[in-house]
Amino acid sequence: MNLLRKILRRTIALPYRIYATRKLHRSTEGTIRGVTLQTDPDVFHPTCFLSTPLFADYLLTQPLLGASLLDMGTGSGAIGILAALAGADVVACDINPKAIALAEQNAAATGAKIALYLSDLFEAIPPTEFDWICFNIPFYPKVVTTPMEQALNAGEKFEVVRRFAEGAEEYVATGGRVAIIFSEDSGYDQIISIFLDSGYRIVDDRRRLKNLELFHITVFATE
C-alpha cells in the first residue's frame, strides 16, 4: 500500500466504520447485481462490506453455467444465489445458524436453488468435488469473540485460512479452482504463503481498489 493511500485510508477509516456500523444495524436489505436480499445485523452484510460485490463481479465473468460451486461462509447467501441464478449447481455453508436461516430465506425469495449446510468450514459438507470453491475469507489475524467476528477474524495465526486451504484440497475437482477475496489491510504475504505451502499455485490474481481499500481476488489450482 503506497504511503499516500495509507494515510488517506486511515483518515477515512473511522468515519466509514461508524457509517458502516450504523448501516449494518439499520439496514433490512441490500441489492447486489440487481438481486435484493434481506439482511440481519448478526450476519455479514452483502453490500455494507465492499468485498461481496467485488467478488460477485469477478465470479459472474466466469463460466458458471453447469458448474458445481461451493460458497463457503455464505452469509446472506449473496454469492451462492447469484451463482445459482447464473446456472451453477450450488452448495453453500456457514458456521453461523442465523446466516443459514437468512440464506435459506433469500434463496427462496429469489428462486435460487441452493443446498445449505450449517458447517464449520468443510465439517458437514458431504464428500463432493466442486469446479469452484469460493470463500470471502476472514482475513484479520485476530481472535473471534462474537458470532459476527467469525466472518472477519481468522485467528491470530490465520488458523481459519489454513484449515480452509487444507480442507479445500479434498473437495476441489480436477481442473477446478479455489477462489478467495481479501483486503490488503490483512497480511497478504502470510495468506498467500498458506496456499502455496499447501501445494496450490496461483492461476489468477486481480486487484480491485474500492474506497481506497485494495482487495485481492486470488484464484488457485491444485494440479
- Predicted pLDDT of residue 210: 75
Pull the grid cell for residue 143.
481472535
In a structure prediction context, what are the per-residue pLDDT tens digits for the chain, which is 223 residues long? 455 545 554 555 445 454 555 555 566 899 999 999 999 999 989 988 889 999 999 999 999 999 999 999 999 999 999 999 999 999 999 999 999 999 999 999 999 999 999 999 999 999 999 999 999 988 665 667 666 666 666 555 778 899 999 999 999 999 999 999 998 877 789 999 999 999 999 999 999 887 678 899 999 999 7
Q: Which of 181, 183, 191 is CA-nearest to residue 218?
A: 181
DSSP 161-208: HHHHHHHHTTTEEEEEEEEEEEETTS-HHHHHHHHHHTT-EEEEEEEE
Give the pTM.
Answer: 0.86
- Predicted pLDDT of residue 18: 45
- Predicted pLDDT of residue 148: 62
Q: Which of 141, 125, 142, 144 is CA-nearest to residue 133?
A: 125
Domains and CATH numbers, the chain: 3-221 (3.40.50.150)
